[in-house]
Chain A
Amino acid sequence: MSLLEVHDLNVSYGGIKAVRGISLEIAAGELVCLIGANGAGKSTTLKALARLLPASGKILYQGRSIVQMPVYDLVRQGIALVPEGRGIFGRLKVEENLLMGAYSRSDIHGIRRDLDHSYHLFPRLFERKTQQAGTLSGGEQQMLAIARALMSRPRLLLLDEPSMGLAPLMVNKIFDTIRAISADGVTILLVEQNARLALDVSHRAYVMEGGTICLSGEASTLLDDPQVRHAYLGE
């Protein structure tokens, strides 16, 4: 059974239909990416899945509809979103940001352990744990946003443009992290502008264009697809 099933999802954004009847599914443990040009509707799709935008259609998570669920309940169901632009709490300390990620949990010892695990994964965050998060560099903020999402122990992690605005070296680091999180068994839906990187780490991919899905398949197959190479990989 799929962890997430989306049928005929429609999202309108200020009178414009940004997503027109797309369907997709993700099995437990998969790393799936959603790629496409700017404005194709990738981020809008992700925001609709995280209930930040009203949408029509079916969204089934573990077989149950989440279309009516309030945003704050999603994380208790195991869905975490790393938002576009990171969305860290700039005036909270780094450690407080991580604790906000665990807001939905009450197992104090487990939270402590996961906090240590975050610091082990991202030593930079440990060095800066008492600093205000707004003083971190862009890459550190992205690490914090990912670490914070992991603090909720998600089953499904939604990543929105994690490479945006980062230096190439940092982008590689972030993608290594994504690969590691996937290897840990977390199901991931990745929205990414950088199609080559996204296809490199993903098992499967959906390609969006003009609010619809125009192509889908194994990531390795799409990497070799002449159409994809031409349109998205710039060859």
Chain B
Amino acid sequence: MDIFLQQLINGLVLGSVYALIALGYTMVYGILELINFAHGEVVMIGAMVTLAVVNMLMASGVDLPGLMIVAAGLLVAVAVCMALGFVIERIAYRPLRRAPRLAPLITAIGVSIVLQNVAMLIWGRQYISFPPILPSTRHDIAGAGITDLQIFIFVLALVLMAGLVLLVQRTRIGRAMRATAQAPEIAGLMGVNVNAVISFTFILGSALAAIAGVMVSAYYGIAHYYMGFLLGLKAFTAAVLGGIGNIAGAMLGGLLLGVIESMAAGYIGDLTGGFLGSHYQDVFAFFVLIGVLVFRPSGLLGERVAERP
């Protein structure tokens, strides 16, 4: 088996999920200069709600293909997370719009803790397994394997990202988002309802987060009330790697981080003579974060445009 190609495939699939989550961080940062640390928890809620719906449908004994059952769960999860994103901004961040920047940041951490505990109360502390109802045929390409699920995750993530780019670059609301990110007061003068644009941004990011949550839990086969913490931190790392506030950067950063992690996990055993194993995978994301913050704090695609005063 070709380790390099295999880890590249695994990394790109994982990375495309990181990218979807990183987009939520970067869009909110672009407009409010706020790191929404509760975003990882929205991902977790997306996974949990999907599993709740899936398990309920399975228990009710309806005779539907697995894909349909997951799709139904996904739809509910997206709706719940969109509402959640809207409510979080409305009650936790909007009242602090003019407060010192540390206040909303700490509030974000608070929201994250609240959501974790609410999830724990509803769904318990144990791992919830994702029923094996999705097609998982394995295909062989040049000595490496790729499953239907991996193909599906990767393609869906790419389609969503392309759709988001079109929305932001080509539509009226996308233009309003970019204008608001640059100069909210001036955007208001143009007739943009800035609060509505900010709500829309949270709703959009949360929808992507919900989908990413379903992808992660289907991919690893489990969900857990604490899963949003590490995922959120990694996606945040991906956003910083690409240049926070930059949409293309979040996508690039996500894919790159997935590949770096996956490659490191694949080769670390050989490189250290078996001293470190692939369970050190999670460490690499944070090496990357530290490296970026030290050597290129603006990220790979961070602001390069010089503006005249």
Residues of A that sit less than 8 Å from B by CB:
50, 52, 70-76, 80-81, 83, 87-92, 96, 99-101, 103-104, 132, 134-138, 141, 148, 152
> Are A81 and B189 interface neighbours, CB within 8 A?
yes
B191 interface neighbour in A50, A88, A103, A136, Cβ under 8 Å: A103
Main secondary structure of the interface of B (DSSP, over half): helix
**Binary CB contact string for chain B from 187 to 198 against chain A (1 if under 8 A, 0 otherwise):** 111111110000
Chain B contact-residue range equals 20 to 34
Q: How far is the CA of A138 from the CA of B308 in the complex (A)?
A: 8
> Are A137 and B308 interface neighbours, CB within 8 A?
yes
Residues of A within 8 A of B186 (CB): 83, 87-89
Enumerate B173-222 residues with CB–CB distance to A below 8 Å.
Answer: 175-176, 178-179, 182-183, 185-194
B307 contacts the other chain (CB 8 A): yes
B172 contacts the other chain (CB 8 A): yes
Residues of B that sit less than 8 Å from A by CB:
172, 175-176, 178-179, 182-183, 185-194, 305-308
> Are A90 and B189 interface neighbours, CB within 8 A?
no
B279 to chain A minimum Cβ distance, whole angstroms, is 43
A-B contact pairs, 14 of them (CB 8 A): A71-B185, A71-B188, A72-B189, A73-B191, A75-B191, A81-B189, A89-B182, A89-B183, A91-B178, A91-B305, A103-B172, A134-B308, A135-B305, A152-B191
> Are A72 and B178 interface neighbours, CB within 8 A?
no
Q: Which residue of A lies closest to B187 (CB)?
A: A100
Q: Which residue of B lies closest to A104 (CB)?
A: B191
Residues of B within 8 A of A81 (CB): 189
> Are B178 and A89 interface neighbours, CB within 8 A?
yes
Residues of A within 8 A of B307 (CB): 90-91, 134-135
A167 to chain B minimum Cβ distance, whole angstroms, is 14
B309 to chain A minimum Cβ distance, whole angstroms, is 8
Q: How far is the CA of A88 from the CA of B182 in the complex (A)?
A: 9
> Are B176 and A103 interface neighbours, CB within 8 A?
yes
Q: How far is the CA of A83 from the CA of B193 in the complex (A)?
A: 18
B119 to chain A minimum Cβ distance, whole angstroms, is 37
A75 and B190 in contact, given A132-B305, A134-B307, A137-B308 (Cβ under 8 angstroms): yes
> Are A91 and B182 interface neighbours, CB within 8 A?
yes
B179 to chain A minimum Cβ distance, whole angstroms, is 5
